[in-house]
Amino acid sequence: MTMSTSRPKWLTLAMVAPATLLLSAGLLLPLAEMAVISFFRYSAVQIWEPIFTAENYLQFFSEFNLAAGIRTVWLSAIVTVLCVMIGYPFAIFLARSESKLRPFYLFVLLSPLMMSSVVLVLGWNMVLSRQGPVAVLFGLLGLDGWNILYSKTAIVIGLTALQLPFMVMILRNAVERVPQSVEEAAHILGAGRFTIFWQVTLPLTKSGLVSGTLLVFAMGLGSLVAPALLGGPRDMMIGNVIYESVMVSLNWPFAAAVSLLLLTTTLILMTGYLMIARSNVGDRR
């Protein structure tokens, strides 16, 4: 005699309702309101006037704002590639290591997530400053005039440091699901380490790679702290444009329009990336 595991529909709805209401109240309603405000006219006195206009969207396509958007996508892509290149070896090491220091390595990896991103980025600001160890090293090499701080390079370094733990943990979980016997069999057949990674580990961990790159890229598109503390006035990203529109100029309609454009661009890029990734998986099958 077996017990039925089916639940009444009302019980299922009751279990799903709190999360659905929270999602609607915390995400969908603000997005809907932001969409409405994005078509209102900016007012220096009332912040916005309920007069329909597309001026806020047209304003984004000015030279400065469009350059900030292109810069945001470009730097986010660079950070994603760097996280993959640095994260894969570390993830494989953590997944396959039998060292007693493995918990310590995990602690070192996760330690940036235990502190505020402001503190971490401010630390990089001091490291890359003119009095920091990087400047001292450049001085010893005869590169006194080379300053990294307040540049795109500094932004990339800061974002990579912030987002690398997420990439490593996702890749580590993907590598742990790959049977080690498969890699050992490839090694017995004469494959080298790079061949094993390229022909065995990478294809079997592709789902983790796709998830990690999507997460890191999306976080880069919405970054604010690293560009503000590590970049210069000419290195503003979309997050900084939105922040200054809200907190400095109080132009909420323009900030709402830019936010929706950023959200739309993110969805388009991610959808295209997922379609390409799935088609490649289908071709290999």
Task: Tell which residue, 271, 224, 256, has the closest CA to residue 60.
Answer: 256
pLDDT of residue 282: 52
The confidence band for 131, taking pLDDT boundaries of 50, 70 and 90, is confident
CB 231 within 8 A of CB 237: yes
Dump pLDDT digits (tens) for 50-76: 999 999 999 999 899 999 999 999 999
At 138 the pLDDT is: 77
Question: Are the CB atoms for 39 and 53 separated by under 8 Å?
Answer: yes
Contacts by residues 57-62 (CB-CB < 8 Å, ≥ 24 positions apart): 57/257, 57/261, 59/254, 59/257, 60/254, 60/257, 60/258, 60/261
Structure confidence at residue 252 (pLDDT): 93
Nearest residue to 157 (alpha-carbon basis) of 231, 215, 93: 231
Residue 255 tokens read as 């900030």
pTM summary value: 0.86
Tens-place pLDDT, residues 26-42: 888 888 999 999 999 99
Q: Which residue from 168, 166, 169, 160 is spatially nearest to 226, judged by alpha carbons? A: 160
**pLDDT tens figures, 160-190:** 999 999 999 999 999 999 888 888 888 888 8
**What is the pLDDT at residue 227?**
93
| Res 47: pLDDT | 86
Mean pLDDT of the chain: 87
pLDDT at 283 over 80: no
Q: What would the pLDDT profile of 189-233 be if each residue is shown by its tens digit? A: 888 888 888 888 889 999 899 999 999 999 999 899 999 999 988
Task: Collect contacts of 205-208 with beta carbons under 8 A, ≥24 apart.
Answer: 205/171, 205/174, 205/175, 205/177, 205/178, 206/277, 206/281, 207/174, 208/170, 208/171, 208/173, 208/174, 208/175
Rounded-to-integer distance, Cα 204 and Cα 81, Å: 19
Residue 77 above 70 pLDDT?
A: yes
Q: Please check whether residue 56 is in contact with residue 42, taking contact to mean a CB–CB distance below 8 angstroms.
A: yes
Distance between CA atoms of 230 and 12, rounded to whole angstroms? 48
